[in-house]
Amino acid sequence: MSKEQVIGWSKHELAARVALDLEDGWFVNLGIGIPTLVADYIPEGREIILHSENGLLGLGPKPAPGEEDPDLVNAGKEPITLKPGGSFFSQADSFAMIRGGHLDATILGAFQVSQLGDLASWKLPNSPLGRVGGAMDLTAGSKRVFLCMQHTTKTGEAKIVEECTYPLTTPRCVDRIYTDLAVIDVTEEGLVLKELAPGVTFEYVQERTAAPLKNQLQTIGAIQ
């Protein structure tokens, strides 16, 4: 396996890194894909109440093999557990929570994100397939929007760009981008690189980013 394939955080390491920035008492929605892994890495002693748009609150880690409950699944139809006190309810109630501004953060993936924080997450260009789903409500209604994704496509194309060429989900909604290579903040002054994955350099990340980055490395800390 080449260095290109193994450099940076794995999907599970990336999910664990995102979980570090979730603050005690936050209500957080986890999108489909890598974001669902965050449920397995909530820091011990920290109460994070996880929300799923299909009508669940208080998600726990994935069940052990053989202990799955077919009636308990997340938005990606993956089996989940509920923590003590967790609940399930109608999707109408779920979206009332989302649209009412009750979520402290939403974590989701993306096809593209611009240097202004524009998000494209639901449809590839020239593809007849694609549904925006709840992403538009989640990104508009949450207090913070975190992206959790691979830095480039499978063919090496940049997913962080100056201007999105894919259909937008929501304009100027993204606060922070977590990829397998780095942690990047979206600010009024542009994209600011805050942290690098082990073995990754600023130059390596910039070469794979189709928008200028400002180097402002810091120690791990939560976004306020």
d(CA 182, CA 152): 12
Given a contact cutoff of 8 angstroms between Cβ atoms, the answer to whether 165 and 123 are in contact is no
Given a contact cutoff of 8 angstroms between Cβ atoms, the answer to whether 105 and 19 are in contact is no
Other beta carbons less than 10 A from residue 107's beta carbon: 29
Burial 129-142 (b: 16+ CB within 10 A, else e): eeeebbbbbbbbbb
Alpha carbon distance, N-terminus to C-terminus of the chain: 39
Given a contact cutoff of 8 angstroms between Cβ atoms, the answer to whether 103 and 143 are in contact is yes
Q: Give catalytic status of residue 53 as yes or no.
A: yes
d(CA 10, CA 1): 14
Pick the catalytic residue: 53, 78, 188, 207?
53
DSSP letters of 151-198? SB-TT--BSEESS--SPPSBTT---EEEESSEEEEEETTEEEEEEE-T
The residue type of 1 is M
Catalytic amino acids?
53
